[in-house]
Amino acid sequence: MPLPDALRAELSDIPMLDDQRVVRMKSRDFFWFSPVLKQSLGDKRADLVIEPRDKADVMRIAAACARHRVPITIRGGGTGNYGQAVPLAGGVVLDMAKLDQMIWQKPGAGRFAAGARMLEIDRTLAPLAHELRFYPSTRQAATIGGFVAGGAAGAGSCTWGQISDPGAVLGVEVVTVEENPRAIELRGRDVLKVMHAYGVNGIITEVEVPLAPLHPWCERIAVFPSLSAAAKFAQNFTECDGIAKKLVTVHDPQVVPYLKRLSAYADSGEAMVIVMASEPQAEAFELLVADHGGRVTFRRSAADAQEAAYGGGTMPPIYEFTWNHTTLHAIRIEPTITYLQLRFPPVTNLELVDWVAKRFENEVLLHLEFQRRFGKVTCSSLPLVRYTTTERLNEIMAELDAKGVAVSNPHTYVLDNAGWKRVDAPQAEFKRLADPFGLMNPGKLKEWRTEAMLATA
C-alpha cells in the first residue's frame, strides 16, 4: 500500500528521508546476528523516514498516521537485535535522533529526550559528576528511549541490576498514536507498561532515570587458566561489595580469538576477564586476581578509558568487547556464527556454566556477564553458537531450558515469543489505549487484535 500523498503534504515542513537506500538502512537493525531473522526480515522496509525535531512534530506525525491509518515504527539507535526497528508492514519510520536534549539533571536523577544517545548523555553528565547507571555495549549509538523499549541490562548491571528492577526508571513520557494524540506520563511501576515492549505501545518521548554519581572507571583485563577459574574469580570479585565496579565479563578461551584487538592479551587456551572498576580500587582487584591464580595483562587509566569512549585513540573502549558486541566481532570473522541469550540462576550458576561448557563444547561458546539480580550475584550469557540448522538451535535451547538455564529466544521477531509479557505489567491494556488502531509496527505481536478487529472477529 503506497503512502497517502496527503500524509506527506501535511507533514511537509518536517524533515523526511525518501532516498531508497537511506530508507532501507533506517529500516534495519542488528537482526542479522540471527540467521533465522535474516531470512524473515531481510526484505522488510518502510516507505518513508520522518525525523521529528521536537515533541510537537511527534504529535503531528502520530496524528497524521492515525488519521490515514499508516503503520508507524519507532527507531532509536537501531542497535536492537530482534528486528525491533524493522517495519513489518511498511509505512513510516519515526527516527527519534533529533530529540536528543537533556531536559534536566539534579543530584541522583536526570530526564532526557528519548532520542538522546547514551554516550552523549554521559558526556554531558561527566562535568556534573554524574553518569547513567547502565549502558549497553552499543553505548555510542544507542538512545535512552530505545534502551528502555528494547534493552534490559548492560555495563552497570554488576552493580545496579536490571532496568526493570524497582526504581531503575523513574518515569517515561509516551505519546499515543491517535487522531488527537496525548502525551501520557507514566511513573513508578507504570513505567513497566512500555518497558521492553519494543516500541509498539506508544511513542516514548522522554525518559527519567536515577543517575549514578560518577566513578573514575579504569579498565583491566586478567587471564586465567580456564573458563571455570575465570568464572569463579568473576563471581567472587562481583561479590566484593567494597569494590565499586561497572563491568565484569568473562570470555571462554574459544571466544578470545574472535576479539581480534584483545587476543594479544591472552595466551592460547586462557580465559579472559574484562573489568571496569573504580580506579582507586584497582589494587584490590589485582590482589584478588593473584589469589585466583590469574594475571593482569591490560591496564588503562580511567582518563584514557574515557578518552577512548569519546573516540580518541586506536583501542576502542573495553566494553565494546562485551555483551552482544562479542557476537559482532565473531560474525566478522566467522559469518555463520550466531548467539543465544541465557540467564543462569544464582547459587548454582557456576556449576551450570561448567555443565554448558562441557555439554556443548565447540558449539556453544560461553561469555558471561556478571550482574546483581535481586540482591544476589549471578551471570547471564550471550554465548556464540556455531550455527548449523534452526532445528539444532531449537534443540539446544530446549535442553538448556530443561536444565534450568533460562533462555530468551533471540531468533524471533514476534514480541509475544520473546520480550512481551516477560515484564509484569498490563502492557496489552496499555497498547489498546496508546495505539487503538494497531498501527505501531503491526505484525510484531502475533496475538494482537485491535478493538475494531475484535469487534468484527
- Of 42 and 213, CB closest to a second copy: 213
What's the rounded Cα separation, in Å, for the pair 4 and 65? 10
- Of 373 and 431, CB closest to a second copy: 373
Q: Which of 94, 84, 95, 148 is nearest to 121 (CA)?
A: 148
Question: Which of 76-84, 213-221, 350-358, 410-418 is the region at the interface with a second copy (rule: CB under 8 A)?
Answer: 213-221
The residue within the footprint of a second copy, chosen from 15, 42, 213, 404 (CB under 8 A), is 213
Note whether 168 binds a second copy by CB under 8 A.
yes
CB of 56 to a second copy, least distance (A): 28
Note whether 372 binds a second copy by CB under 8 A.
yes
The residue within the footprint of a second copy, chosen from 89, 288, 328, 350 (CB under 8 A), is 288
- Of 238 and 338, CB closest to a second copy: 238
Phi, psi of 360 (to 5 degrees): -115, 40
Cβ-based burial of 452 (10 A; exposed 0-12, middle 13-18, buried ≥19): exposed
Site for a second copy in 238-277 (CB under 8 A): 238-244
Note whether 287 binds a second copy by CB under 8 A.
yes
Note whether 296 binds a second copy by CB under 8 A.
no
Site for a second copy in 17-36 (CB under 8 A): none
* 212-224 burial code (b ≥16 CB/10 A, e <16): bebbbbbbbbbbb
What's the rounded Cα separation, in Å, for the pair 150 and 406? 19
Binding mask 384-423 for a second copy (x = CB under 8 A): ----------------------------------------
Note whether 167 binds a second copy by CB under 8 A.
yes
Note whether 152 binds a second copy by CB under 8 A.
no
Note whether 285 binds a second copy by CB under 8 A.
yes
Phi, psi of 442 (to 5 degrees): -60, 135
Question: Which of 80-88, 96-104, 251-259, 282-290 is the region at the interface with a second copy (rule: CB under 8 A)?
Answer: 282-290
CB of 244 to a second copy, least distance (A): 7
The per-type count for the chain, helices as H runs and strands as E runs, is 15, 21
Q: Does residue 309 contact residue 234 with C-beta atoms inside 8 Å?
A: no
Question: Which of 34-42, 55-63, 193-201, 375-383 is the region at the interface with a second copy (rule: CB under 8 A)?
Answer: 375-383
Question: Which of 106-114, 178-186, 250-258, 319-327 is the region at the interface with a second copy (rule: CB under 8 A)?
Answer: 106-114
Other CB atoms within 10 A of residue 359 CB:
14
Note whether 376 binds a second copy by CB under 8 A.
yes
What's the rounded Cα separation, in Å, for the pair 126 and 123? 5
Concatenate the DSSP letters of all residues of 38-100 into one string.
Answer: HHHHTT---SEEE--SSHHHHHHHHHHHHHHT--EEEESSS--SSSTT--SS-SEEEEGGG--
191: left (phi over 0), alpha (psi -120 to 50) or beta: alpha
The residue within the footprint of a second copy, chosen from 18, 22, 42, 188 (CB under 8 A), is 188
Strand-pair category, 130-132 with 102-106: unpaired
Enter the C-alpha cell of residue 99.
530529540
- Three-state SS across 107-118? CCEEEEECCCEH
Residues that bind a second copy (CB under 8 A): 106-109, 129-130, 133, 159-163, 165-168, 170, 187-189, 210, 212-216, 238-244, 278-281, 283-285, 287-288, 302, 372-377
